[in-house]
Amino acid sequence: MPTHPIRRSVRLSALSICGVLLFGGAAAVLGAAAWDEYVSGIVWPEPEMVEPGIGTSPPSDAIVLFDGHDLLQWVDGENWIIENGYAIASKTGITTKQAFGDCQVHIEFATPEVVEGEGQGRGNSGVYLMNKYEVQILDSHGNKTYYDGQCASIYKQQPPIVNACRKPGEWQSYDIIFEAPRFTDDGKVARPAHVTVLQNGIVVQNHFEIQGSSAWDKPAAYEPHADKLPLHLQFHGNPIRFRNIWVRERIQPLEGKRP
């Protein structure tokens, strides 16, 4: 930032002055017809135009991973069943062929309408960011389990802020904003990963600091890894349906040229 703020003169109209007078700024403008506006001096790049999706369609700059037709973007995608524009988890988990770091992930899912099992055995799956950090999928509508393992938890690390689950069989959505961890050259954590999750439009994780890789049988811990790794969808024995999966990689703030 500049040592001394840059100012530019802004001419006020009579209507503007009247507005200031009405809201208690009379002393500031009675003897002046101009106003100094603060300008940072930073030269910003123009934000690129991105066309939002209509309905459930992805935005124009998204990397589409599943649009209802095939799972060619995924390793082991042939193991899942595709019908009526959605994919049904079966046999194995699937992993993207493309690797991702910082990103926005959109995914829609539905747990089975016919309820079977309870706790972790009911509508279980998971979104593994970088194939390591799990946002849990579970039928948590009237289904008790440990709170840091229910739907929208960061598995075994943080429960969701609220339970935003719809009824079994109804379509739900995750919008996940993920900041990948950074490691030093000697393998230490320079910056931990962070994640924000909206479930069905509701904030359920707010910039949570991830403690390490998700594990069922041991505490979370970091191990150094590449800047980008694939996304993984878990198969946990339940026929979870998925649709409309896409990723955006441009989530970091614009950088301007400072004076």
Residue range 58-89, pLDDT digits in tens: 999 999 999 999 999 999 999 999 999 999 99
Residue by residue, DSSP assigns 147-198 as GGGSTT-BTTTB--SS--PPPTTS-EEEEEEEE--EE-TTS-EEE--EEEEE
For the chain, give every domain's residue range.
6-39, 63-248
Q: CA 53 to CA 59: how far, in whole Å?
A: 4
List the Cα angle 99/100/102 in 5-degree steps. Answer: 165
CATH code reported for the domain at 63-248: 2.60.120.560
Residue 106 reports pLDDT greater than 50: yes
Q: What is the pLDDT of residues 189-228, one digit of tens each?
A: 999 999 999 999 999 999 999 999 999 899 999 999 999 9
Tell me the Ramachandran region of residue 177: left when phi exceeds 0, alpha when psi lies from -120 to 50, beta otherwise.
beta
The β-bridge relationship of strands 202-209 and 194-199 is antiparallel
Query: Please, are residues 131 and 74 in contact by the beta-carbon 8 Å criterion?
Result: no
Q: What's the predicted TM-score (pTM) here? A: 0.85
Residue by residue, DSSP assigns 81-111 as EEETTEEE-BSB-EEEEEEESSEEEEEEEE-
Three-state SS at 18? helix
Least confident span in 9-13, 70-74, 82-86, 105-109: 9-13
